[in-house]
Amino acid sequence: MSEHLFYGTIWGMIQTQISEITHISWGKIEVVANSTKHAFKDCKVWSGGAREWNWQETGTRHQPGIQPADIQEILDKRIEVMILSRGMDLMLHTCPETETLLQERNIPYHIEETKTAVALFNQLAREGKRVGGIFHSTC
């Protein structure tokens, strides 16, 4: 394999592992993962993937908020940094047990209003970090 082809192949693999949140508005989040565009109300996003975040799967409510079970799937993707959104009006909380889990695994995390969380996720992804996030697009 030529050097050019080798590095081109590696760059192609790196590019396919990037997810980007391309739009955020009340009730709608758009994500491009592996060159495929997805639209969600709430979502889980990681390098190379995304899916709907269905609160009913774990019984999540605004309080106590994001639970360890909500982020486990993202942690399983071997992320380096976690972004936890609070919603557009800061109504969503994060359970203390969720923060403890991240601390025990030595994973830096940020808890932010959703638009700020999206901007931070995209910035870290562009820097090449294996970033994961969970995003709430309404209150």
Separation CA 15–CA 119 (nearest Å): 19
Q: What is the pTM of this model?
A: 0.87
Query: What pLDDT, on the 0 to 100 scale, is given for residue 8?
Result: 40
Task: Walk across the sheet containing 28-33 and list its strands.
Answer: 19-25, 28-33, 36-40
Q: Would the pLDDT of 74 be above 90? A: yes
Separation CA 84–CA 63 (nearest Å): 14
Q: Would the pLDDT of 90 be above 70? A: yes
- What confidence tier does 34 reach under pLDDT thresholds 50, 70, 90? confident
DSSP 1: -
Separation CA 131–CA 97 (nearest Å): 20
Beta strands in 1-63 (DSSP E): 19-25, 28-33, 36-40, 42-46, 49-52
pLDDT, mean over the chain: 90
Calculate mean pLDDT across residues 34-38. 92
Q: Would the pLDDT of 40 be above 60? A: yes
Fold type of domain 3-136 = Hypothetical Protein Mth938; Chain: A, (3.40.1230)
Query: What pLDDT, on the 0 to 100 scale, is given for residue 7?
Result: 40
Helix extents (H) in the chain: 3-16, 68-75, 96-104, 114-126
Please give the single-letter amino acid code of residue 54: N
Domain limits of the chain?
A: 3-136
Task: Please write the tens of the pLDDT for every residue from 1-33.
Answer: 444 443 443 434 444 467 999 999 999 999 999
Query: What pLDDT, on the 0 to 100 scale, is given for residue 17?
Result: 67
